[in-house]
């Protein structure tokens, strides 16, 4: 059977090379599903408090919402195997965004306009607290079309059954739209003229675009002559998201809020690079046009929610706590063959609260407060000197399943290494100057999922450089030593970003959520986020260790460190 699986994966790759049409984001060989089996009983990489189903493939979070006090997470799911294919909308609910109960799939192929797949989309709460799902279906001609579904019974707070309208599809790829690049409708917003707007991701050539539609009744949609926004040389825009943020507070806003006190965010997921980027700008309602702020980079080198493994994200407005919550999909870093052997692939990141930074130049993210209900066995480390070359273990915490926050105070910046003008790419700089490369002020930070002898370690750290009269802070997640496994298919990319903080006047803070095979790190109180997916061979379960370290020549002080073991979330399948 193992031979057949390998052979089929090879056949799938061969078919792809001959141009057989498959969904652009995911390689798929549908025949592989019937040959799948898993003999894996030892599962050290399954997470304890991140969301994942019992088995099989997952990807994009879809249509997250709150309805009658119940949170709903819907997501792309393959009920037949652990590689992409046979996609339905799986459905799970929660009262706290931590513990989840699974239901039957909410949407699955059942009508002509989605018979070949039910792909990503969003939920909009219509007047009368009526949820509506807009989603991409694949029709018999393999065209991407937009469909709608409503709850069958609004009195059911779990919304377990959904009904598709006979008017489907509502939007089709006409008037020159690329039928294979027309997907992922956003949450709609209602403008003062009483009409709903929604955008669909698309492209023309390599120009990514957000095609705009309007509707009075949410059923009949008319295409606007020009896109809400587009950008050259960015390729297909998947999973677009468009929402307002307050310039005055951290309070989240309903998607339809349009006032002088808000800015708008446009996020797109780039099919070409598998990165996401966002811009902050102004929604010009009269022209139905979005204009990024001056200086807001409108391509793959722009601002990102997360500089690691994080894609196809989706936000929703949580009216119970007046916050905007961000969900993101975290894919694996190993091969499809590993996924088949394991029996599953993919997790969802911890939901994050998201708001506009006081500077107005970027967004800030922080894990939802509910995750702290899993804290237990707190460990604190106060005002500890980290001399050059020192490594100090944080003992008393379950290092394979933990939440750790640390603040570093820098006594002097005089000997900071000069910033070379050519160092424009932070990820490349992090790979060149990893945790083992000694510097002046840094690298210093955390070693997580580390073995006792440090043969295995994932390093999240800072370096400080001097750039003329200012200082530049680099944040990195170095996975190069994350696993002893020798496998050319194992992605050990080092991630990095520049952190917009002033080390002269503020401490450098870092929070890492560690969960067996995933590490979500938040630098500068959420100004930079990096998610890593790692597979340690030795640093598993109680063999995992947690350390703070300083590999620079200048001493660093840990002003405060707090760590907690994390209880396991309850996920009922």
In this structure, are residues 535 and 334 in contact, taking their beta carbons and an 8 Å threshold?
A: yes
Adjacent-strand bridge partners of 572: 101
Cis before 443? omega within 30 = yes
**Residue with tokens 């008393």, as numbered in its chain:** 396
**Residue with tokens 């915490």, as numbered in its chain:** 397
Which stretches of the chain drop beneath a pLDDT of 50? 1-39
How far apart (Å, rounded) are the C-alpha atoms in residues 50 and 58?
A: 13
Separation in Å, CA 26 to CA 244, 487, 489, 570: 30, 21, 16, 30
Burial label, 453 (beta-carbon count in 10 A; 0-12, 13-18, 19+):
exposed
| Percent of the chain as helix, strand, coil, to the nearest 5 | 10, 45, 45
In this structure, are residues 282 and 294 in contact, taking their beta carbons and an 8 Å threshold?
A: no
pLDDT in tens, 525-537: 999 999 999 999 9
Q: Which of 31, 60, 338, 515 is catalytic?
A: 60
Cis before 169? omega within 30 = yes
Q: pLDDT value at position 40?
A: 60
Q: Residue 319, Cβ neighbours under 10 Å: how many? A: 13
In this structure, are residues 376 and 569 in contact, taking their beta carbons and an 8 Å threshold?
A: no
Nearest to 229 by CA among 255, 207, 244, 257: 207
Q: Residue 340, Cβ neighbours under 10 Å: how many? A: 26
In this structure, are residues 229 and 267 in contact, taking their beta carbons and an 8 Å threshold?
A: no
Residue 60 catalytic?
A: yes
Q: pLDDT value at position 411?
A: 85
- DSSP letters for 483-519: -----TTS----EEEEE---TTTS-EEEEEEEETTEE
DSSP state of 113: G
pTM, 2 dp: 0.93
How far apart (Å, rounded) are the C-alpha atoms in residues 1 and 434?
A: 41
Encoded tokens for 185: 């409708």
Q: pLDDT value at position 33?
A: 39
Nearest to 302 by CA among 280, 267, 277: 277
Nearest to 288 by CA among 336, 337, 227: 227
Domains in the chain: ranges and CATH:
1-35+53-181 (2.115.10.20), 378-572 (2.60.120.560)
């Amino acid at each position: 059977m193992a031979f057949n699986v390998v052979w089929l994966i090879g056949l799938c790759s061969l078919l792809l090379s001959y141009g057989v049409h498959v969904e652009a984001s995911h390689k798929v060989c549908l025949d592989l599903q019937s040959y799948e089996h898993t003999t894996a009983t030892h599962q050290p990489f399954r997470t304890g408090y991140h969301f994942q189903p019992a088995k099989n493939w997952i990807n994009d979070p879809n249509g997250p919402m709150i309805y009658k006090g119940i949170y709903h997470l819907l997501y792309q799911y393959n009920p037949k195997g652990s590689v992409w294919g046979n996609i339905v909308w799986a459905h799970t609910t929660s009262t706290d965004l931590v513990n989840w109960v699974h239901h039957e799939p909410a949407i699955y192929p059942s009508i002509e306009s989605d018979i070949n797949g039910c792909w990503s989309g969003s939920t909009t709460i219509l007047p009368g607290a009526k949820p509506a799902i807009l989603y991409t279906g694949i029709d018999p001609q393999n065209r991407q079309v937009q469909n709608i579904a409503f709850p069958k019974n609004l009195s059911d707070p779990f919304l377990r059954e959904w009904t598709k309208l006979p008017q489907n599809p509502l939007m089709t790829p006409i008037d020159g739209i690329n039928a294979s690049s027309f997907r992922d409708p956003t949450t709609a917003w209602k403008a003062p003229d009483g009409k709903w707007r929604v955008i669909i991701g698309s492209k023309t050539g390599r120009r990514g675009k957000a095609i705009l539609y309007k509707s009075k009744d949410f059923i009949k949609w008319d295409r606007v002559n020009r896109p809400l926004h587009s950008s050259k040389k960015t390729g297909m825009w998947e999973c677009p998201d468009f929402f307002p943020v307050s310039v005055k507070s951290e309070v989240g806003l309903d998607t339809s809020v349009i006032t002088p006190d808000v800015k708008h965010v446009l996020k797109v997921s780039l099919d070409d690079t598998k990165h996401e980027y966002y811009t902050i700008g102004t929604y010009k309602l009269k022209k139905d046009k979005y204009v990024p702020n001056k200086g807001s980079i409108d391509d793959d080198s722009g601002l990102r929610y997360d500089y690691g493994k994080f894609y196809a994200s989706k936000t929703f407005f949580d009216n119970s706590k007046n916050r905007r919550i961000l969900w993101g999909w975290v894919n694996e870093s190993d091969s499809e063959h590993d996924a088949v052997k394991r029996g599953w692939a993919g997790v969802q990141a911890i939901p994050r609260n998201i708001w506009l930074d006081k500077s107005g130049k970027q967004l800030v993210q922080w894990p939802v407060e509910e995750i702290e209900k899993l804290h237990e066995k707190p460990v604190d480390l106060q005002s500890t000197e980290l001399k050059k070359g020192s490594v100090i273990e944080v003992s008393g915490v379950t290092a394979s399943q933990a939440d750790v926050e640390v603040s570093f105070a820098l006594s002097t910046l005089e000997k900071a290494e000069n910033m070379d003008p050519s160092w424009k790419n932070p990820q490349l700089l992090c790979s060149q100057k990893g945790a083992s490369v000694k510097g002046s002020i840094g690298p210093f930070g955390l070693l997580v999922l580390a073995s006792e002898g440090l043969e295995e370690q994932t390093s999240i750290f800072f370096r400080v450089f001097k750039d003329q009269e200012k200082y530049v802070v680099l944040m990195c997640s170095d996975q190069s030593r994350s696993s002893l496994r020798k496998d050319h298919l194992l992605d050990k990319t080092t991630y990095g970003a520049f952190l917009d903080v002033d080390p002269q006047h503020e401490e450098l803070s870092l929070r890492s959520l560690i969960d067996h095979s995933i590490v979500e790190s938040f630098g500068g109180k959420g100004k930079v986020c990096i998610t890593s997916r790692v597979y340690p061979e030795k640093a598993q379960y109680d063999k995992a260790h947690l350390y703070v370290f300083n590999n620079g020549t200048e001493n660093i002080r840990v002003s405060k460190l707090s760590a907690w073991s994390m209880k396991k979330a309850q996920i009922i399948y």
